[in-house]
Each structure stands twice: as C-alpha cells, then as structure tokens.
C-alpha cells in the first residue's frame, strides 16, 4: 500500500488502493495494482495521487468554509 501524507492513492484504472511494489521502491520503479495488474511508475502514481488528493480536499475545504460562514451569519437573522 502506498500512502501520501494522508490520502491513499487509487489505481487510475480500477480505483483499487493496494499495489505490489519492490522493496525500497524508487520513483522510477514500476508498481503493480493488486487487482487489475495495471503497472505504473511510482512517480506517475504519486502524481495521480496528488490530483486525487486535490479532488478530495477541495470539496471538503469548501464544506468547512460554508459551515463557518453559516455560523458567522447566524447572528444576523
């Protein structure tokens, strides 16, 4: 299983989040999806992970901001 700071990287092909990887995996090593056997270079997979993290984090951040704004405006009702 490859993890970035907080978010698991999902296979770009099938969405599975576990990969076979060599020991001491390097950025230019290939890792293989446990489920669909899709192979991807670790550095590419990490890029995919960054994109996926953005997609997850941004809507959540929006929700938080909306919550804070709602609270802030409650007093004005």
Tokens 């020991």 — which residue? Answer: 23
Asked if 35 touches Zn ion (CB under 5 A), the answer is yes
Pick the binder of Zn ion from 17, 31, 33, 40 (CB under 5 A).
Answer: 33
List strands edge to edge, sheet with 39-41: 19-20, 30-33, 39-41
Asked if 11 touches Zn ion (CB under 5 A), the answer is yes
Asked if 38 touches Zn ion (CB under 5 A), the answer is yes
Cβ neighbours of 53 (radius 10 Å): 16
User: Binders of Zn ion: how many residues, by CB under 5 A?
Assistant: 8
Asked if 21 touches Zn ion (CB under 5 A), the answer is no
- List, in order, residues 6 or more apart from 3 with CB less than 8 Å away: 9
Where does this chain bind Zn ion (CB under 5 A)? 11, 13-14, 16, 33, 35-36, 38
């Amino acid at each position: 299983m490859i993890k970035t700071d907080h978010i698991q990287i999902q296979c770009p092909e099938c969405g599975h989040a576990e990969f076979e990887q060599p020991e001491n995996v390097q950025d230019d090593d290939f890792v293989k999806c446990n489920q669909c056997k899709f192979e991807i270079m670790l550095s590419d997979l990490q890029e995919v992970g960054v994109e996926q993290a953005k997609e997850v984090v941004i809507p959540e951040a929006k929700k938080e901001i909306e919550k804070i704004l709602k609270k802030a405006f409650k007093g004005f009702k």
